[in-house]
Amino acid sequence: MLEALAAIEMQIAALDRQVRALTQRSETCWRLMSVPGVGPVTALAFVGAIEDPGRFRRTRDVGGYLGLTPKRYQSGEKDVSGAISRQGDGVARHYLYEAANCLLTSWRGTSPLKSWGLGLMRRVGAKKARVACPSSNDLEQAA
């Protein structure tokens, strides 16, 4: 049993080295990892899900692509906004949610992004703030 555990730990260490090597070669991953709460796995998941950022006209379109927009039911009489739609890459969405949670609750430093997120948390609630996809205008206002 101990030998099996040691072999598993060696495989995990090898995979960890591969992930770090991949992120060190990518400038996009480095930029993403400069955000508090975003580590190598989150950066790789996001880069893998987006692939070509040129296909998105606006930054807000990325949130919709990952399923971080509210479900809507609209008819002539009703306009109901529900929970997040959960369309798109579930792994990237999960890692981004965890990174936002870490930034807003665990990280002790200050940044314009954290200030914006905490203000949003007060206005719309914690869960919605964690899945919000900030536009460049929102970040400029927070700065």
- The token duo for 80 is 């109901």
Place of tokens 């591969």: 18
pLDDT-derived band at 126, boundaries 50, 70, 90: confident
Domain coverage including residue 113:
2-142
| Number of domains comprising the chain | 1
Residue type, position 133, single letter: C
Question: pLDDT tens for residues 82-119?
Answer: 667 777 788 888 898 888 888 888 888 888 888 888 89
- What is the per-residue pLDDT for 134? 52
Confidence of residue 135 (pLDDT cuts 50, 70, 90): very low
Beta strand residue intervals within the chain, DSSP E:
70-74, 79-84
Write down the pLDDT at residue 142.
Answer: 40
DSSP string of 90-116, one letter each residue: HHHHHHHHHHHHIIIII--S--HHHHH
Residue with the larger pLDDT of the pair 59 and 141: 59
Percent of the chain with pLDDT over 90: 31
Burial degree of 93 (CB within 10 A; 0-12, 13-18, 19+): buried
Most confident option among 53-57, 124-128, 131-135? 53-57
In sequence order, what are the residues at sequence separation of 6 or more whose Cβ sits closer than 8 angstroms to the Cβ of residue 119?
142
- Please check the confidence at residue 31 and state whether its pLDDT lies above 50: yes
**What tokens appear for 137 in the block?**
């205008």
Per-residue model confidence as pLDDT tens digits over 35-68: 888 999 999 999 999 988 888 898 878 888 888 7
SS3 of 1, please? coil
- Predicted pLDDT at 141: 43
Q: How many CB atoms lie within 10 A of CB 50?
A: 16
Residues 6+ apart with CB under 8 A from 143: 112
Please check the confidence at residue 143 and state whether its pLDDT lies above 70. no
